[in-house]
Amino acid sequence: MYGMPDRKLLEIFLENTPTAVAVLDSQMRYIAASKRWLSDFGLVDTELEGRSHWDVFPRIRDRCKQVYHDSLAGESRSCEQVVINADGSADWMNWDIRPWLDSCGEIGGVIIFSEVITERKSELNYRSIFDAANDLIFICDIETGEIVDVNQTTADVLGYAQSEIKCLGLSILCLEVPPYNLENLRESIQKAVLGEPQIFEWKTRNKQGRLFWVEISLKLAQIGDNLRLLAAVRDITDRKRVVDALRKSEAREREKAQRQELLNQLAGQIRQSLELTAILETAVSEIRNLLQIDRCSFAWYKPYNNPPVWEIVTESCAADIDSLTGVYPAPDVENATECDLRSEILWVDDVSEFLQPSHREMVLSLGYKSLLSLPVRTASGLTGAIVCGNCRSPRAWKDAEVELLQAVAAQLAIAVNQADLYAQTREAANIAREQAKQLEQTLYELKRAQSQLIQTEKMSSLGRLVAGVAHEINNPVNFIYGNLSHAKVYVQELLELVQLYQAKYPEPAAAIVETMEDMDFEFLIDDLPKLMASMEVGADRIREIVRSLRNFSRLDEAEMKFVDIHAGIDSTLMILQNRLKSQHERPEIEVVKEYGELPQIECRAGQLNQVFMNILTNAIDALEERDSKRSIEEITLRPSRITIVTEVQQQDAAFFAVIRIADNGVGMKEQVQEHLFEPFFTTKPVGKGTGLGLAISYQIVIEKHRGNLHCFSQEGAGTEFAIEIPIKQGN
């Protein structure tokens, strides 16, 4: 371990020592270096002081870096490594690293002594290093151009033996046609031989014919006693693929941004004005400019004229293109009329290839070489069309352009519908209020009917009462539910319109602000969708209960059909997916399906689906109730699971399809199992269940399908329902 001399003495020493030596601080930054160091590593013209050793020698291996760290910890260490010199030559170097102490006796850094040991290394070591390179390396004679040596990587990548590569020369990298032919490669080689290093991209192929991209670096290198041409070739196919993908992505994003700008402009104009003419003029002008086409127009279909006509009300066309604004009889443009009335797109890249000769001549007479027409249908029943065309030459329309025009058509339909929207929404709100009153009364009536049913002891009386309740409730509930869906749409559209106006006019007049505050406008905006949603939930609940009552009282009958039971189970699981998926308080409930080979079963599919729904819902309820009392660790250790197994069993002379639905919940007490299939028996809290699900399921399986429904449950071990249905009902 050395003590550091003063600066002047250090400089004198480094100036005169014949050894390659460098002094670095504890951060591996250069303090000084000898002349031999600078010359050995081609650093004579480089300002080293203050630079990091890792920057000067970026290819130092991790093992050698550890040697440096050991020296900074107080050890004297050494290591060997190949160093690429500034002239491109490679040398084996021995680094002798020793720590030095500052005036306080602390380690201030390291002193590195370097010695070229290339001659000590065997040809085997050289070959190992040469062949281990990831790049393809060619060493060529600068006089003859012949390949003197290639590494193993070259042979592996190109698929030729090294001897074959030496015979073929650098022409092995060339294709037959410019710019990747031998003549162009020779031009680059000549420049490199004259001392001008070359780096360029090149396309080549291997022996198997696979084309790929490479980056070729050509420069002179002193290898031993000879000046050689060193060609380093790197496969950049993946890099090129990424660059090309990025370029295409950028182009798509630019195109997308331009189209979005058009849609935003139209949306903004719609928010600002009800002047439809101005909106249509903007639309056709911007579409023509964006798509770079000869003509874009908008036309209305007027079916009540005799004969029906198309009226082109606005258009944008090139200066040398004649205007088509005017009225045209619909029969003359029959093909376009049929497409628009069917809400179809008329897409013609080349009019000369139009199948119908009469239509082809008509379109050509209007000056079109290619045509694209998209329908615009309004809520009030009006039919229009956006018509784009090229008149100078055919044009291949793109899917993205059609998507843009479809979005524009939707915006234009909004502009037409906007005038009617507010009045419809007000009417919908009035209807919703009235329906809310009816809904409240219906709920009251239903609750009273349920109370009466529970008190009834004879099932015959129960059936008649249920049928009566279902009949009386079903019609008003359907009326309420049907209108409620429209009311919800109207309210949502009104809210969207209000939000659009708020976005456009964030600073309304004082009178409007005062009125909004008086009515607690923000609360209304927030609460109205919730109110509609709660009304819809209530209506859904009533319809569900009524449907259950009707099934229980045999009001709904469906014919027997051969169906796929597995499809029914899957559809039921799909409906219940929202309940099965993970919630904030629990993970997802796992469903394990172990389906056997079932033939199609003769049954009433809708009724069996109801059975599956009831049993699966009960299983989910049981698992959720159990999970609400468990910690996350307990749930993770024993996750909730529903298992569905299907198989065919023979009972006497008949074959039955058996569907087993089991959960791994807490199970049921024996007292609960005794009443399981009784109407209105439920273990759920008030408002969480009607007690009809399993009773109806029992009726469907036993009475309507002549099957069996069993329940097997044990406390702490879960519950299993076994449904047995005859594969064929018979007479």
**3-state SS, residue 731:** coil
Structure tokens at 377: 């249908």
Q: Are 388 and 295 in contact (CB under 8 A)?
A: yes
436/540 same-domain check = yes
Mean pLDDT of 411-427: 68
Rounded to the nearest angstrom, the gap between the alpha carbon of residue 295 and the centroid of all alpha carbons in its chain is 36
Residue 25's pLDDT band, with cuts at 50, 70 and 90, is very high
Q: Which of 517, 552, 587 is the last residue of a domain?
A: 552
Q: How many CA atoms lie within 13 A of 268 on its CB side?
A: 8
* pLDDT of amino acid 133: 75
Task: Give the domain CATH number at 384.
Answer: 3.30.450.40
| Domain assignment present for 255 | no
Residue 194 pLDDT exceeds 80: yes
Count up the domains in the chain and report the number. 5
Q: How far is CA 375 from CA 261, 267, 296, 347, 658, in A?
A: 22, 19, 14, 12, 53
For 311, other C-beta atoms within 10 Å of its C-beta total: 15
544/570 same-domain check = no
Residue 627 pLDDT exceeds 50: yes
For 457, other C-beta atoms within 10 Å of its C-beta total: 6
492/527 same-domain check = yes
Question: What's the longest Cα–Cα distance across the chain?
Answer: 120
CA distance 161 to 139: 16
Residue 39 pLDDT exceeds 80: yes
Task: Give the domain CATH number at 81.
Answer: 3.30.450.20
| pLDDT tens figures, 260-300 | 776 676 666 665 656 778 878 888 888 888 888 899 999 98
161/277 same-domain check = no
Task: Give the domain CATH number at 670.
Answer: 3.30.565.10
Residue in 167, 129, 131 with CA at minimum distance from that of residue 150: 131
Residue 532's pLDDT band, with cuts at 50, 70 and 90, is confident
Q: What phi and psi, each to the nearest 5 degrees, are found at residue 322?
A: -70, 145
One-letter amino acid of 688: K
Mean pLDDT of 200-215: 92
Domain extent for 355 = 273-397
Torsion sign (Cα): 189, 193, 199, 205: positive
| Domain assignment present for 613 | yes
Residue 86 pLDDT exceeds 80: no
Segment (H or E) for 67: helix 62-72
Residue 656's pLDDT band, with cuts at 50, 70 and 90, is very high
Q: Which of 182, 207, 235 is the last residue of a domain?
A: 235
615/720 same-domain check = yes
Residue 652's pLDDT band, with cuts at 50, 70 and 90, is confident
- Beta strands at 601-603 and 561-563: parallel, antiparallel or unpaired: antiparallel
642/681 same-domain check = yes
* pLDDT of amino acid 663: 92
449/361 same-domain check = no
| Domain assignment present for 257 | no
Residue 202's pLDDT band, with cuts at 50, 70 and 90, is very high
Segment (H or E) for 533: helix 521-552
| pLDDT tens figures, 451-489 | 434 433 333 444 455 556 666 777 787 778 788 878 888
Residue 599 pLDDT exceeds 90: yes
Mean pLDDT of 200-221: 91
Q: What phi and psi, each to the nearest 5 degrees, are found at residue 558?
A: -125, 145
Q: Are 550 and 463 in contact (CB under 8 A)?
A: no
Torsion sign (Cα): 158, 160, 166, 172: negative
Q: What phi and psi, each to the nearest 5 degrees, are found at residue 588?
A: -65, 145
Residue 649 pLDDT exceeds 70: yes
Percent of the chain with pLDDT over 70: 84
| Domain assignment present for 386 | yes
Q: Are 264 and 348 in contact (CB under 8 A)?
A: no
720/586 same-domain check = yes
Mean pLDDT of 175-188: 90
CA distance 266 to 408: 8
| Exposed/middle/buried for residue 696 (C-beta within 10 Å: 0-12, 13-18, 19+) | buried
* pLDDT of amino acid 501: 83
Residue 677 pLDDT exceeds 80: no
Residue 5's pLDDT band, with cuts at 50, 70 and 90, is low
* pLDDT of amino acid 717: 86
| pLDDT tens figures, 329-379 | 877 666 666 765 677 888 888 888 876 777 778 888 888 889 888 888 887
DSSP string, 72-106: HTT--EEEEEEEE-TTS-EEEEEEEEEEEE-TTSS
Residue 224's pLDDT band, with cuts at 50, 70 and 90, is confident
Mean pLDDT of 528-551: 72
Structure tokens at 309: 């006509």
Higher-confidence residue: 396 or 529? 396
Residue 429 pLDDT exceeds 60: yes
Q: Which of 397, 429, 448 is the last residue of a domain?
A: 397
294/361 same-domain check = yes
Q: Are 387 and 363 in contact (CB under 8 A)?
A: no
Residue in 516, 489, 517, 502 with CA at minimum distance from that of residue 427: 489
**3-state SS, residue 660:** strand
- Beta strands at 77-84 and 561-563: parallel, antiparallel or unpaired: unpaired
Structure tokens at 231: 């060609």
Higher-confidence residue: 6 or 140? 140
Residue in 405, 410, 408 with CA at minimum distance from that of residue 389: 405
CA distance 321 to 331: 25
648/692 same-domain check = yes
* pLDDT of amino acid 571: 76
| Domain assignment present for 14 | yes
Q: What is the mean pLDDT of the chain?
A: 81
Segment (H or E) for 493: helix 459-504
* pLDDT of amino acid 335: 60
**3-state SS, residue 261:** helix
DSSP class of residue 703?
Answer: I
Residue 721's pLDDT band, with cuts at 50, 70 and 90, is very high
pTM of the predicted model as reported, rounded to 2 decimal places: 0.32
| pLDDT tens figures, 155-167 | 999 999 988 988 8
One-letter amino acid of 608: L
To 5 degrees, how large is the angle CA 614–CA 620–CA 621? 85
585/510 same-domain check = no
To 5 degrees, how large is the angle CA 476–CA 482–CA 488? 125
| Cis peptide bond prior to 179, omega within 30° of 0 | yes
Residue 595's pLDDT band, with cuts at 50, 70 and 90, is very high
CA distance 538 to 191: 84
Residue 422 pLDDT exceeds 60: no
518/428 same-domain check = yes
Among 388-402, 480-494, 520-534, the range of highest mean pLDDT: 388-402
Taking the chain, what is the end-to-end CA distance rounded to the nearest angstrom? 106
Rounded to the nearest angstrom, the gap between the alpha carbon of residue 380 and the centroid of all alpha carbons in its chain is 36
Beta bridge partners of 722: 660, 710
Q: Are 177 and 163 in contact (CB under 8 A)?
A: no
